[in-house]
Amino acid sequence: MDKYTIIDHPTSGMWEKFLQDYTLGNLQQSFEYGEAIKESNPHAKILRFLAINDDNLAGLIQARYNKRFGFGDRTEVGGVYGYGPVVGTDNRKEVLEKLMGLLEKHAIQNRVSEANIYAPETNQTLENMGYTVNTVFNVYKVDLRKSETELWKTITHNKRRNIKKAQKQGAKVVQCNNYDALASFFELHAISAKRVGFKTYPFIYFQSLSKIFGKRNNLKIFLTVFEGQPVAGVFVVLHGKTAYALGTGSREESWHVRPNDLLHWETMKWACNNGFSWYHMGHVREPLPNENSEGWGLWRWKREWKGQLNKVYLYNKVYMPKFNKFVLSLCEKFLAVFL
């Protein structure tokens, strides 16, 4: 008789009851994150498997993929702001194999040809199941488990000087969660994306997160205002004891005021004073030795907060190699016609 029962349509209460034991937070495995993804993308499919042993919650996995024309693109479990599967301390290998086996079965049945699994450490069980590490990258988090005074003393002298400079010139940070604040943030975010050259999520992504997480007051938008105009902004989602900065942006012409330094300081200060343990600043790419000053500038800017780098291991497995090759070929032909 199978030791574990798997529930494939768990309630949000059951789901978050298990995750609450992981008090630091795991945003991209949270029930609310899955709901926000579904609302923001009509093609998105969310899978949830919850393992139970004698009424004890043993582990869970939340996966997402987009399905078009009868097949899915790629199953994703976790990401920059979370990891999965999440399993308890007992029989970790058995629970993990059970959850991953069901994920693979569902993927193959729905013609999803491969999967990306984000893990906080190397995972022998995944490797034994045929998953290989595709990429290793860094995420950056600032420890808030101290007083505001201690936090201030922790950051570098240069960072403190820039914050004081912003304050002296009259810049202020406001926190509000209405539509106007969301629109202002996204405008700044889009400006930065165009300037730096990264691809941003669409407005509806942030709007859906705002709607879903805002129901429980777990969404905060902070804006730096200078001379009556928003000049920098950060979009923060709260889960567990972590405040996740999911998106930022600023106007380059205002950089002389140091609006980003003031923005993140005030956001960290708020989180610190409201009982949060970590401020998650997302992915930080280590520059190459011969890279230009802009790449090194962002690296140094984040490191000045005196946080910590954590590695994330991206595991990949192609379930159906021939079908995957066919899908890639089809996508290339589609792009050739429409681009």
The answer to whether the beta carbons of residues 239 and 220 sit under 8 Å apart is: no
Q: Where in the chain does DSSP place strands (E)? A: 5-7, 44-53, 56-68, 71-72, 75-77, 86-87, 114-119, 132-143, 172-175, 219-226, 229-239, 242-250, 278-283, 308-318
Q: Taking residues 317-338, what's their average pLDDT?
A: 60
pLDDT per position as a tens digit, 162-193: 999 999 999 999 999 999 999 999 999 999 99
Q: Taking residues 275-298, what's their average pLDDT?
A: 75
Q: Which of 182-186, 219-223, 238-242, 286-290 has the lowest mean pLDDT?
A: 286-290
Q: Which residues of 83-114 are buried (b: 16+ CB within 10 A; e: fewer)?
A: bbbbbbeebeebbbebbbebbbebbeeeebbb
- Top pLDDT among 324 and 34 is at 34
Q: So what's the pLDDT on residue 93?
A: 93
Q: How far apart are alpha carbons 61 and 198 in whole angstroms?
A: 29
Residues with Cβ within 8 Å of residue 196, at least 6 apart in sequence = none
DSSP conformation letters of 87-148: E-SSSHHHHHHHHHHHHHHHHHHTTB-EEEEEESS--HHHHHTT-EEEEEEEEEEEE--S-H
Q: So what's the pLDDT on residue 339?
A: 37
> Between the CA atoms of 21, 27, 31 and 32, what dihedral angle is there, to the nearest 10 degrees?
130
| Superfamily holding 145-276 | Gcn5-related N-acetyltransferase (GNAT) (3.40.630.30)
What proportion of the chain, given as a percentage, has pLDDT over 90? 77
Q: How sure is the predictor about 208, in pLDDT bands with cuts at 50, 70 and 90?
A: very high
Q: Taking residues 145-164, what's their average pLDDT?
A: 97
pLDDT per position as a tens digit, 59-84: 999 999 998 877 778 999 999 999 99
pTM of this structure: 0.91
Residue 293 has pLDDT above 90, yes or no: no
CATH architecture of 5-137+312-338: 3-Layer(aba) Sandwich (3.40)
Mean pLDDT of the chain: 90
Q: How sure is the predictor about 322, in pLDDT bands with cuts at 50, 70 and 90?
A: low
pLDDT per position as a tens digit, 11-25: 999 999 999 877 678
The full set of domain ranges for the chain reads: 5-137+312-338, 145-276
Q: How far apart are alpha carbons 298 and 300 in whole angstroms?
A: 5
pLDDT per position as a tens digit, 220-229: 999 999 999 9
5-137+312-338 and 145-276: same fold?
Answer: yes
Q: Which of 316, 313, 322, 319 is nearest to 131 (CA)?
A: 316
